[in-house]
Structure 1
């Protein structure tokens, strides 16, 4: 294993370590089993010329043996050695503070930092001169809108143009000729953009149903027709539409598994709702509400339909406002929250309040919070103060089941999410942002995510505002 040679942390990353997930503030009971890089990801870095060390056992619980990492060209190291003599250490969840303190001054840690939830981590990094790069804060720069998203917007705009009333006066129902329950492919990518466009029009109601018969007088949007229309649009029209849009400096998160998060949370929620003593016998009978229409909420919607839920109410900014939201909460068997509040509203505004327990929400209702929170960064679900563990995902208050797991994909999508993270990290290092060349040449979408260390002063501005997806509790010991 070669010794790193760049004390400032701004030069190329040549000596890279992959740390195993151990007990830490985010992982107090050791439930996290994923590895940030798969053997395929390690092999790509080795081919690039990086010397990669992998902590022994890093992927064992996920079915990725040490032998597979060794075959990919990695050196295997013990825990104590892994954090030393590295330009870059990669980890999924933030490490215990004692492990961060082991790192050499000027080295860089790439992980889910969650600085507002675990502020002690930033203080330790500053004390030891370690560059802390928040994986969850890295963004596209500039924003890059996929063709499927733009096609979906154009198609939805054309469909709404045929509606008898303005979009804001409509009750919209996305309909399927047959319920997509059990479909292995899930919802088409175009449907995300169409649903998001429709939601931003602030309709009177928005639901997704497994049969046109369930539209119940709403303006029906046949999903098959919508997807066909989107895919048939000429490329020139899509390009012209893209050219007409303002280019935002920062776009989507570069490293995430939001869809898997939504799917895992919804799968857990459906299962729990069906196990209630007085609940419906089949998923089709569940009265289901999804709050929000972003990536994580769409993942939840996707999984609800795969599980056989017949109709899902999707609450937009208009219908999620109080007191209107109370009407939906009062009849729901399953509520899935995908709404992330602006930083200025956290701890001040709630979509579901403590008072809703026992007065609006019925005993036995299941509330799944996909956003998560801690005392310093509250979720829009006021009864959720701190996120729960995958080993103990649910608590009950006033008869209402509350689940807000900090690692939702561990409940059914551990391997898929690990593979997704690995592929995204490799692209970040070697392809799109070329982060392997060092922090000094990193683009603004990476530099904005530097939250501590000597390179933060040299390479970029402070973190702009609280982390948008804090899902951890700063009260846990690490």
Structure 2
């Protein structure tokens, strides 16, 4: 199979989906094109990909491949470069991005959602959930601007993402309180005295934009200079915290009523080197199966994440 490894072009985004060590595992059987300078953001020069057996190519040539691979979801200008009935493997989050599903239909591009590929136990196979929480918490301390050991941190949730935040806060010797399901329904009682409030809960789709656990009028209950860190904000901005909207790596925070908010859509991008290494190993397992089998004979666990045009 001819595979195109695309460069991440979003502002502030330095990650790369595949490293030379994993590319080398593919080039024995498959032709791999790597977009020029795709790895520079994490210190990987073009010649290292060439030594691994890949060909350095232009954006146009990479997106003309039958299968394009990248981390972030494609934008319209990228889809325009792809050939009808070709495919892209990337993060998609189509439920939060209905306009992207329409663009895939418009340009007749099939897609495999990285976040939808799960093992037999339902666990995501391409993910950096714990790292998301950890990095988001560190950014929260940075925005707070004081000694982390003096902070009162309250974390909503106890899933993988929340646990990453809890670990980061504990390592900074902050006073950490984990809010369980009962607690989050009584936020007016738990917000007072909080320096950094962290949202790490999965908010059901049917509640998004309709029910808020933290309403705008509760911000005044936070301590002066407080920070809200939303680790699970989605592109549609439907957080259980009313004043949260998604931010980006290049514009990561804003204020509402004196409270700093950060809700980065792409927290793992704060550690591009280590996250790129992690994704590369995870993606190789999936990409090898796709390349060896072909798009018409995908294993069931990949097929379940396959968005096929017209179906």
Which TM-score band (shorter chain)?
Answer: over 0.9
The answer (yes or no) to whether the contact 1:267–1:307 under 8 Å persists in 2 is no
**Which one of the candidate residues 14, 18, 24 is aligned to 2:5?**
18
The answer (yes or no) to whether the contact 1:31–1:391 under 8 Å persists in 2 is yes
| 2:190 paired with 1:335 | no
3-state DSSP class of the match of 1:93?
coil
- The answer for the alignment partner of 2:217 in structure 1 is 355
- The answer for the alignment partner of 2:26 in structure 1 is 45
How far off is 1:294 after superposition?
A: 0.7
- The answer for the alignment partner of 1:252 in structure 2 is 123
The root-mean-square deviation of aligned C-alpha atoms, in Å, is 1.6
Q: Name the TM-score, length of structure 2 as normaliser.
A: 0.94
Farther-moved stretch of structure 1 (98-107 vs 67-76): 98-107
C-alpha distance in 2 between matches for 1:379 and 1:373: 8
**Which one of the candidate residues 410, 414, 418 is aligned to 2:276?**
418
The answer (yes or no) to whether the contact 1:115–1:451 under 8 Å persists in 2 is no
Runs of 4 or more above 4 Å deviation: none
The answer (yes or no) to whether the contact 1:340–1:380 under 8 Å persists in 2 is no
C-alpha distance in 2 between matches for 1:341 and 1:419: 29
C-alpha distance in 2 between matches for 1:55 and 1:95: 15
The answer (yes or no) to whether the contact 1:270–1:307 under 8 Å persists in 2 is no
The answer (yes or no) to whether the contact 1:139–1:445 under 8 Å persists in 2 is yes
C-alpha distance in 1 between matches for 2:208 and 2:144: 28
| 2:68 paired with 1:89 | yes
- The answer for the alignment partner of 2:208 in structure 1 is 346
**Which one of the candidate residues 303, 309, 313 is aligned to 2:177?**
313
3-state DSSP class of the match of 2:80?
helix
- The answer for the alignment partner of 1:115 in structure 2 is 94
Q: Which has the larger radius of gyration?
A: 1
C-alpha distance in 2 between matches for 1:129 and 1:392: 32
| 2:40 paired with 1:60 | yes
- The answer for the alignment partner of 2:286 in structure 1 is 428
Measured against aligned partners, the alpha-carbon deviations of 1:326-356 in whole angstroms (never above 9, x if no partner) come to: 2221111111110111111111222221121
**Which one of the candidate residues 214, 230, 234 is aligned to 1:369?**
230
- The answer for the alignment partner of 1:74 in structure 2 is 54
C-alpha distance in 2 between matches for 1:342 and 1:125: 25
C-alpha distance in 1 between matches for 2:173 and 2:49: 39
- The answer for the alignment partner of 1:293 in structure 2 is 158
Structure 2 gap segments, 5+ residues each:
none
The answer (yes or no) to whether the contact 2:237–2:244 under 8 Å persists in 1 is no
C-alpha distance in 2 between matches for 1:40 and 1:326: 51
3-state DSSP class of the match of 2:296?
coil
Counterparts of residues 446-461 of structure 1 (less than 5 Å): 446-453=302-309, 457=311
The answer (yes or no) to whether the contact 2:148–2:173 under 8 Å persists in 1 is yes
The answer (yes or no) to whether the contact 2:156–2:198 under 8 Å persists in 1 is yes
How far off is 1:435 after superposition?
A: 2.4
3-state DSSP class of the match of 1:312?
strand
| 2:19 paired with 1:34 | no
**Which one of the candidate residues 239, 242, 249 is aligned to 1:382?**
242
How far off is 1:257 after superposition?
A: 0.8
The answer (yes or no) to whether the contact 1:389–1:407 under 8 Å persists in 2 is yes
3-state DSSP class of the match of 1:380?
coil
C-alpha distance in 1 between matches for 2:261 and 2:237: 17
The answer (yes or no) to whether the contact 1:122–1:132 under 8 Å persists in 2 is no
3-state DSSP class of the match of 1:384?
coil
**Which one of the candidate residues 254, 257, 261 is aligned to 1:398?**
257
How far off is 1:389 after superposition?
A: 1.6
Measured against aligned partners, the alpha-carbon deviations of 1:156-192 in whole angstroms (never above 9, x if no partner) come to: xxxxxxxxxxxxxxxxxxxxxxxxxxxxxxxxxxxxx
